[in-house]
């Protein structure tokens, strides 16, 4: 999972394997270590109890939660992303990660195929 933070927005991009894990009720998690015992963790999960897409931060981890119904619709369709805004105004964008134009499919085996590519 890739994380991009720009201004007051978060963008998460997931490959096919990661989307499958979340679809099956799991969560996808990654972290970056700045120093020993000093890291930032970020994760994405689906929740049947969630009423809207949300993001929380506890000082060490960013947790993005998507209602399971919305997650299932996204996974099972050609929809590229889910766009939302947290209750505190953080813009959220969760997207399927497509293959880069300048790399071969072998270099990114789990990336989604680019639409409309022949």
Q: What is the pLDDT of residue 92?
A: 97
45: DSSP letter = E
Q: What is the pLDDT of residue 78?
A: 85
User: Which residue intervals of the chain are DSSP H helices?
Assistant: 16-23, 68-75
Residue 21: HSE in the Cβ half-sphere, 13 Å Cα cutoff: 14
Q: DSSP of 84-113, one letter per residue?
A: EE-TTS-EEEEEE-BPPTTS-GGGSTTSBP
What's the pTM? Answer: 0.81
Burial of 43 (0-12, 13-18, 19+ CB in 10 A): middle
* 31-74 pLDDT, tens digit each: 999 999 999 999 999 999 999 999 999 999 999 999 999 999 99
Residue 116 has pLDDT above 90, yes or no: no
* Inter-residue contact 66 to 33 (CB < 8 Å): no
Domains and CATH numbers, the chain: 2-107 (3.30.1360)
Q: What is the pLDDT of residue 87?
A: 86
Angle at 1 between CA 95 and CA 88, to 5 degrees: 65
d(CA 67, CA 40): 24
The larger pLDDT score, comparing residue 84 to residue 100, is at 84
């Amino acid at each position: 999972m890739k994380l991009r933070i720009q201004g007051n927005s978060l963008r998460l991009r997931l490959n096919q394997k990661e989307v499958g894990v979340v679809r099956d009720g799991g969560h996808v998690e990654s972290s970056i270590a700045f120093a020993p015992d000093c890291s930032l963790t970020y994760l994405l999960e689906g929740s049947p109890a969630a009423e809207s897409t949300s993001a929380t931060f506890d000082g060490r981890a960013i947790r993005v939660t998507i209602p399971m119904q919305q997650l299932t619709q996204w996974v099972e369709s050609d929809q590229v992303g889910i766009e939302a805004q947290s209750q505190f105004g953080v813009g959220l964008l969760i997207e399927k990660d497509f293959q880069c134009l300048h790399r071969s499919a072998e270099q990114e085996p789990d990336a989604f195929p680019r639409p409309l590519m022949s």
